[in-house]
Structure 1
Amino acid sequence: MYRYSIFIVSCLLYSLSEGKNFDSNILNKILPYKVYLPPIDKINNNLPVIYINDGYNYINKGRLVDIIDSLIISKQIKPVVAIFLEPRNKKEKWKNIREELFLCNPSFVDFFTNEFISKMEQQYPINKNNRTIMGVSFGGLAVFYLADKAPDSFKNIVMQSPAFHPCPDIYESYTVKSKKNLKMYLSYGTGKDTEKQDIPMVEILRDKGYNLKVERVINGNHEWTYGKNKWMIY
């Protein structure tokens, strides 16, 4: 259950890069990524940034580039940089390493916070104090794990149908630790989605007093669909 707001425009004015490669010493892998920059007249040296797990699925299935561009043009959100990270290792013929990276892997946290972010901020007009990270399913779990281990690295976290079951200890971690200074969005659907995993976490976050927006979709299943979603303008 992955949902978005969308405002269609007749022509797209953004810039989406060709595929790039990040050679990580920490992971000993080469990860593909693409970078979205807003329309040229809206670029400045202090743009918020969104880091996106499962990046190419968000581009191809989620149509997220079109959505971001449309929301900027319609002035529903401020211009942003979006970085779409793909969980594949080009050293091994584009091997899918999604589960290796996303299932509570401390090396992925180390890579993200000590390699990837710093390199992106050297190359693009990013405001380091306004970072968002988002992901879906296991990618949503990775977002939550990153926020737990490196809470000062992000301002906002977005989890769409996060699947917490591979890392059950994460519930206790958020229960016993002090509240982090994070703004959170979490969506899930009923039906064949992650509702049973997500409700206990929602209760933990609410009990701790987090700044949390939750969306529950009736009959939303664990698949790419389109509809109304306010996470971008929350």
Structure 2
Amino acid sequence: MFLNSRLLIFFSSLLFFCPKAMAQQQDWASIYSKVLQRSIDISIYDSNPSKKEKPIVYLTDGRKLLENGVMDSIKRLTLFGQIPFATYVFVSTVDRVSGQDYRNENFFCNPSYIRFFESELVPFVEKGHEKGKSSFERSLVGISFGGLNAAYFSARTDLFGNYALLSPVIYPCKKVISDISFSQNKSLRIILTTGKNDAENYVDELERIYGSKGYELSTIETNGQHDFNNWNAQWRYVLNFLISFD
């Protein structure tokens, strides 16, 4: 079913106190990828380790997101009971030794990056889950060029059932539109966001093509621009869409 809820949101910093406390756990790991021929750093944040069955949210551009307060936003929203419990996996694009950022190489419609997720990253993260996770228990989040990567994944792999594309910029790989058109993926859930003062707006184009596939779709328009002040104010809405469903 195609559900299109285009919203104009005026974000507020007001939070309501929730006295409920919970244990939290953050782990760091480095995976050597035979597919990509380099080490990939990841940070795994479990918002409630005592709750065994939780959805998993993978976020690309992990180092940049951590440096710009995304983890802090998620922790605060969890503490105040404004988003459900989940496990979050921040996947870095920066080589820890050389400092080189492989962001563009990873994100511009790279089939090797999909293979890394399918054969190396997801099995590593989820090895402790005896039953295994279904695609609809997994979400992928991408911001800016990361939104292009998420769009490519939505067309070329069935690993994820839920996607968030925040201020996606797709011009480096416009073929992603035809990839989505011919994709065999069914029943995806996708949230798209853009700001009135964003750098560029590709959301309308993506909204049309995803809508034609019959995916469950939500679109948010904010008053913000292409920066973390805008994106960090969206997490409550984005994460509730991704992980609050029957």
Return the TM-score normalized by structure 1: 0.85
Contact 2:192 2:219 in 1 (8 A): yes
Q: How many residues align?
A: 224
Please report the RMSD computed on the Cα atoms of aligned residues, expressed in angstroms. Answer: 2.6
How many Å separate the matches in 1 of 2:35 and 2:11?
Answer: 34
Say which of 223, 226, 230 aligns to 2:227.
Answer: 223
Q: Which runs of 5+ in 2 are unaligned?
A: 1-9, 242-246
Partner of 2:5: none
1:150 is the counterpart of 2:157: yes
Offset, 1:174: 1.8
How many Å separate the matches in 2 of 1:227 and 1:113?
Answer: 30
- Provide the identity percentage: 23
Return closer, same or farther for 1:178/1:124 CA change in 2, 3 Å cut-off: closer
Contact 1:8 1:70 in 2 (8 A): no
Say which of 175, 181, 191 aligns to 1:185.
Answer: 191
Partner of 2:207: 202
Deviations 1:48-79 (A, max 9, x none): 10111011222221x22233233333333321
Trace 1:71-220 onto structure 2 (pairs within 5 A).
Answer: 71-90=77-96, 93-123=98-128, 128-129=133-134, 130-151=137-158, 153-178=159-184, 180-195=186-201, 197-218=202-223, 220=224
Q: Which runs of 5+ in 1 are unaligned?
A: none
Return closer, same or farther for 1:5/1:32 CA change in 2, 3 Å cut-off: farther
* Amino acid corresponding to residue 23 of structure 1 in structure 2: Y
Trace 1:10-49 onto structure 2 (pairs within 5 A).
Answer: 13-17=23-27, 19-40=28-49, 43-49=50-56
Return the TM-score normalized by structure 2: 0.81
Return closer, same or farther for 1:233/1:192 CA change in 2, 3 Å cut-off: closer
Return closer, same or farther for 1:182/1:105 CA change in 2, 3 Å cut-off: same
